[in-house]
A = this chain, B = another copy of it.
Amino acid sequence: MNGLSIDMVMLQIFALFLLAKVAGLVCERFGVSSVIGEIFAGIIIGNTILFQWLSLDIDLGLFEVLAELGVIFLLFSVGLETPFSELRKVGRTATLVAVLGVILPFLAGFAMFMAIDNQLNEALFIGAAMVATSVGITARVISDMKVTRALESRIIIGAAVIDDVLGMIVLAIVMGISAGSSGGLLDIVLVSAEAILFVVLVILLGSILLPKMRRKYAERRGPAEPAQCGDRKRLALSPLPFAIIVCLGLSFLASYAGLAAIIGAFLAGMVFAEFKDKWPCEKDFHPINEFLVPFFFIHVGLLVNIASFAEVIVLAVILTLLAIATKWIGCGLGARSMGRASANIVGIGMVPRGEVGIIIASIGLTMGAITDSLFAIVVFMSMATTIVAPFLLTWAFRRKMDSDGTCGVMETLSP
């Protein structure tokens, strides 16, 4: 890269990875998601002399690329947990939870920043970042609490899955409007239609074309023959390189179509999720993500300027409270048919924004739609909701236990 020796670059990679993993591990020991630790590591590196020591001030280009690769593979993995066939099974309540949990936070974020400085693009991106629910973190909290089989848990996971897809569509629309920037109603409708078309097209093609290819391949391969000496081993098409190619290809296609690359990666993951039984690649993506994803979060941290953040901390706290309240109320309303205590649990379960809110904000930052300090606000909001959610969720589950004891997890929840 720009004048840095390869040895220096390797030292940067080593140091950043080491710090991210150590910080992640420390956070996990204290029961906080390792993502938080990795972002903190980035913030510390980015705002101290370490930044100069590691020559990161000279060229961050490499880490931008590693971060992009990391987030693309991460969203592919999220997509892998979102098979289209599951989506259809989710049911009315979860759908209602997801839809209300998207609309309310979006409107709140959008309205707040329209009121503050009346910039459409900025308000749109903040709204979109408020929409996200991190399936990963939600599922993790639930499995950590050993309440996976509770009805509330299934509703939360189902709603989070739909939320992911809706979030991608919202992002696509926001990016379209932001790039077009005219903001006329017709434009918004057209851009939205294009975004939805892309998503629907990929899902349809991925569910029709891919199974065909698979059948063809299975036929050509034929039944296993006894190996002959001197023969080379017949090479089965390993799913991993294929999955990487599809993931990178769809990411490029999405960004070529003016959408975010991660939307393509997410859809690629959704398509592969349909073939999990025949082409398992979850386990293979895990190590790749373990290596690459920390570079995304550390890069996020590097982009956070503490000095500029100090000026906007009040705004950040307000946005965080708004983020918690709107998800809680929106999703709670969606689940009101389940009764007050259960609706409470579902609402809280949808609160953590995790990585997705940050990813959306980082796209806004790259597009110039939001400023450094607004980016820092979203990072703060995402981290805060993620840290606070497990505590709230534990409280909500306990509260329900105390009032009716029907959840079947009493014995594990009481001390």
Which residues of A come within 8 Å of B, CB atoms? Answer: 1-2, 6-7, 9-11, 13-14, 17-18, 21, 25, 28-29, 31, 59, 61-62, 64-65, 68-69, 72, 143-146, 227-233, 235, 237-238, 240-241, 244-245, 248-249, 251-252, 255-256, 261, 284-288, 290-291, 366, 394, 409, 412-414
Residues on B with beta carbons closer than 8 Å to the beta carbon of A227: 146
Residues on B with beta carbons closer than 8 Å to the beta carbon of A287: 240, 284-288
Beyond A6-B65, A261-B7, whether A249 also contacts B14 by CB under 8 A is yes
Beyond A7-B255, A7-B261, A287-B284, whether A18 also contacts B230 by CB under 8 A is no
Can you list 16 A-B contacts (CB < 8 A)? Answer: A1-B61, A6-B68, A6-B366, A10-B255, A11-B252, A17-B241, A18-B248, A31-B231, A61-B61, A62-B65, A144-B233, A228-B412, A229-B413, A238-B290, A240-B290, A288-B291
Residues on B with beta carbons closer than 8 Å to the beta carbon of A230: 145, 394, 413
Distance in Å: Cβ of A381 to nearest Cβ of chain B: 23
Beyond A288-B287, A288-B288, whether A231 also contacts B11 by CB under 8 A is no
B245 to A18, Cβ gap below 8 A?
Answer: yes
Copies of this chain, count: 2
A21 to B248, Cβ gap below 8 A?
Answer: no
Beyond A145-B230, A287-B288, 4 extra complex contacts between A and B, CB < 8 Å: A6-B65, A10-B65, A17-B248, A62-B62
A31 to B232, Cβ gap below 8 A?
Answer: yes
Q: A2 vs B69: C-alpha distance in the bound complex, in angstroms?
A: 18
Residues on B with beta carbons closer than 8 Å to the beta carbon of A249: 14, 18
Q: A62 vs B63: C-alpha distance in the bound complex, in angstroms?
A: 10
Q: A249 vs B366: C-alpha distance in the bound complex, in angstroms?
A: 32
Chain A interface, DSSP helix/strand/loop, else mixed: helix
Beyond A144-B232, A235-B28, A409-B229, whether A17 also contacts B244 by CB under 8 A is yes
Of residues A228, A232, A284, A285, which shows the largest number of chain B Cβ atoms within 10 Å of its Cβ? A232
Q: A245 vs B20: C-alpha distance in the bound complex, in angstroms?
A: 11
Task: Name the residue of chain B whose CB is nearest to the CB of A146.
Answer: B229
Task: Name the residue of chain B whose CB is nearest to the CB of A261.
Answer: B10
Task: Name the residue of chain B whose CB is nearest to the CB of A14.
Answer: B248
Residues on B with beta carbons closer than 8 Å to the beta carbon of A64: 6
Q: A25 vs B242: C-alpha distance in the bound complex, in angstroms?
A: 11
Of residues A2, A6, A255, A291, which shows the largest number of chain B Cβ atoms within 10 Å of its Cβ? A291
Distance in Å: Cβ of A281 to nearest Cβ of chain B: 8
B10 to A248, Cβ gap below 8 A?
Answer: yes
Q: A351 vs B230: C-alpha distance in the bound complex, in angstroms?
A: 18
Q: A235 vs B366: C-alpha distance in the bound complex, in angstroms?
A: 35
Residues on B with beta carbons closer than 8 Å to the beta carbon of A285: 287
Q: A413 vs B230: C-alpha distance in the bound complex, in angstroms?
A: 7
